[in-house]
């Protein structure tokens, strides 16, 4: 195979990408700027350092992260191999000894004869070979400025101001209704509130606890994306003139304008995931759940992504990327990890694996591959490429990413059926696409 794959960033995504490309026969150069230049969150010079929690998520067959873990295991993922070798007891979750885990990944990457690890900061895209960009949420400033200049200002975000996202199947459409303000676009789901419910919601909002960000994570709020808890602090009626404005949204059941309305907007084309409009929040997750469930029609809402307000660096994936993780504008460049628009350690590693494999395929002139839509990785990368590009926010593994199954039964049984269907589809796809199931 001629040429080289440059992988920029030796985190979860970059480590996995480097090994996937090398195992496919490519010569790989992996650039990591630590320890010469540290990020505000990393503490060591190891590859794949876990910057916060030591958990890669729940393992059960009912858990969306569990399916992604299972897919990565059959793909021979280096991150999963290190996680399995260094796990610590954590109930139903896959938690690891973080020191041993990153030492294991570092050894696997640096020990592969096809990978050269270069310890330096990259400030601009290499102009030769194929490039995998995996510099993560704390991409260094010179490279971020270069990407901005190359691909355009609106395509790179420096912070998340995300609202909770809920599964459509968990919304009570007997209470909520489709309508657009003044009938302009009946594309929104509306949850009507009377004053008593609003007061209860407002009081709970004032009591809710905020996530305490590190100093470097703190954001200056733009007036257009002030978190809901901050709007609440400004006064009892402030929300009624902002995200809970009822004007132009009469409830078809009564014909009257409710006291307050919470609107939900579609996140994906299939309409399986809906986000609460204007509800960006940095509240603790338990408090978010309680608050969301105080909204009429959302009493049983299943939140698949919680709101966050923090510093982050990520691309507007639906504008920039194909589902194969190649840049539409420059197909020899691929993105992976948080920079590509995913959230989470496992999701970062999984997109790294796909980008690494597709990078090696590009070197040998083969077309890129994308896992089937029933698989968690397939659902995730299809979401990246096909999500609503307006106000795009990063996404983690969740059941809204894959089509439902036509199985009657409890939620648990349906999820187990989705798990088995996804894993079988992933294995069959790996075989069809020519990936060695037990890579060296
Ligand atoms: C503070 C914080 C806490 C988080 N906590 C969790 C959590 O608990 N659980 C979870 O699942 N997810 C968490 N995340 C989100 C995400 O899963 C992790 O950030 C994950 O590490 C992302 O993987 P990555 O490979 O995309 O980026 P990273 O793992 O951050 O790897 C990127 C690498 O690129 C290097 N780099 C950056 N710029 C350059 C450059 N110009 N040249 C060379 N190298 C460069 C960095 O040093 C880093 O090693 C957290 C994120 C942050 C910021």
Ligand 1 site residues (CB inside 6 A) read 8-14, 31-34, 39, 41-42, 51-53, 121-122, 134-140, 143, 337-339, 343-345, 348
Asked if 318 contacts 386 with a C-beta cutoff of 8 angstroms, the reply is yes
What does pTM read for this prediction?
A: 0.92
| Residue-wise DSSP of 38-101 | --SS--SS-TT---S-SEEEE-STT-HHHHHHHHHHHTT-HHHHHHHHTEE--TTEEEE-HHHH
Ligand 1 centroid, distance to 137 Cα (angstroms): 5
Residue 269 CA to ligand 1 center (angstroms) comes to 28
CA distance 128 to 4: 8
Domains by residue range for the chain, with CATH? 5-160+311-433 (3.50.50.60), 165-306 (2.40.30)
Check: CB of residue 6 under 8 Å from CB of residue 129: yes
Give the strand pairing for 115-118 and 28-31.
parallel
Virtual torsion, Cα 303, 54, 413, 284, nearest 10 deg:
-20
Q: Which helix (H) or strand (E) holds 202?
A: helix 195-207
* CA–centroid distance, residue 176 to ligand 1 (Å): 39
Question: Mutate which of 6, 10, 11 to test ligand 1's pocket (most atoms within 8 Å of Cβ)?
Answer: 11
- In terms of Cβ atoms closer than 10 Å to its own Cβ (0-12, 13-18, 19+), residue 128 is exposed
Query: Per-residue confidence of the chain (440 residues) as pLDDT tens digits?
Result: 789 999 999 999 999 999 999 999 999 999 999 999 999 999 999 999 999 899 999 999 999 999 999 999 999 999 999 999 999 999 899 999 999 999 999 999 999 999 999 999 999 999 999 999 999 999 999 999 999 999 987 788 888 889 999 999 999 999 999 999 876 778 999 999 999 999 999 999 999 998 877 766 665 555 557 899 999 999 999 999 999 999 999 999 999 999 999 999 999 999 999 999 999 999 999 999 999 999 999 999 999 999 998 888 999 999 999 999 999 999 999 999 999 999 999 999 999 999 999 999 999 999 999 999 999 999 999 999 999 998 899 999 999 999 999 988 999 999 999 999 999 999 999 999 988 754 44
Q: Work out which ligand 1 atom sits closest to the CA atom of 140.
A: 38
Give the CA dihedral 276, 160, 239, 254, nearest 10 degrees: -10
Tokens coding 149? 């200049």
Distance of alpha carbon 305 from alpha carbon 341, whole angstroms: 13
Whether 341 and 384 have beta carbons less than 8 Å apart is answered as yes
């Amino acid at each position: 195979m001629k040429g080289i794959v440059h992988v920029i960033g030796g985190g979860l995504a970059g480590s996995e990408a480097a090994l996937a490309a090398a195992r496919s026969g490519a010569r790989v150069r992996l650039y990591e700027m630590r320890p010469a230049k540290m990020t505000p969150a990393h503490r060591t010079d190891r590859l794949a350092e876990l910057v916060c929690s030591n958990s890669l998520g729940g393992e059960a067959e009912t858990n969306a992260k569990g399916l992604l873990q299972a897919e990565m295991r059959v793909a021979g993922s280096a991150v999963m191999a290190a996680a399995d070798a260094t796990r610590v007891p954590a109930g139903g979750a896959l938690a690891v000894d973080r020191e041993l885990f990153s030492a294991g990944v570092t050894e696997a990457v640096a020990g592969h004869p096809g990978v050269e690890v270069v310890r330096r900061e990259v400030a601009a895209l290499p102009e030769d070979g194929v490039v995998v960009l995996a510099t993560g949420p704390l991409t260094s400033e010179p490279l971020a400025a270069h990407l901005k200049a190359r691909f355009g200002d609106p395509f790179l975000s420096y912070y998340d101001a995300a609202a909770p996202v809920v599964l459509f199947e968990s919304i009570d459409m007997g209470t909520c209704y489709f309508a657009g303000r003044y009938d302009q676009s009946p594309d929104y789901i509306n949850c009507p509130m009377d004053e008593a419910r609003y007061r209860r919601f407002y009081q709970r909002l004032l009591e809710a606890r905020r996530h305490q960000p590190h100093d470097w994570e703190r954001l200056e709020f733009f007036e257009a994306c002030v978190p809901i808890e901050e709007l609440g602090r400004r006064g009892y009626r402030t929300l009624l003139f902002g995200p809970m404005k009822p004007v132009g949204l009469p409830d078809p059941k009564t014909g009257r304008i409710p006291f307050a309305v919470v609107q939900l907007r579609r996140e994906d084309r299939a309409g399986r995931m809906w986000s609460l409009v204007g509800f960006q929040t940095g509240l603790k997750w338990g408090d978010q759940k309680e608050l969301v469930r105080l909204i009429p029609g959302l009493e049983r809402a299943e939140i698949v992504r919680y709101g966050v307000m923090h510093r982050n660096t990520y691309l507007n994936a639906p504008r920039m990327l194909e589902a194969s993780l190649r840049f539409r504008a420059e197909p020899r460049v691929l993105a992976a990890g948080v920079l590509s628009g995913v959230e989470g350690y496992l999701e970062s590693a999984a997109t790294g694996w796909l980008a690494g494999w597709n990078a090696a395929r590009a070197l040998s002139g083969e077309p890129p591959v994308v896992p089937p839509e029933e698989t968690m990785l397939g659902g995730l990368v299809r979401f990246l490429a096909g999500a609503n590009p307006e106000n795009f926010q990063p996404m983690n593994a969740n059941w809204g990413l894959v089509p439902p199954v036509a199985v009657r039964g409890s939620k648990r049984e349906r999820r187990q059926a989705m798990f088995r269907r996804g894993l079988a589809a992933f294995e069959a796809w790996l075989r069809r696409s020519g990936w060695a199931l037990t890579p060296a």
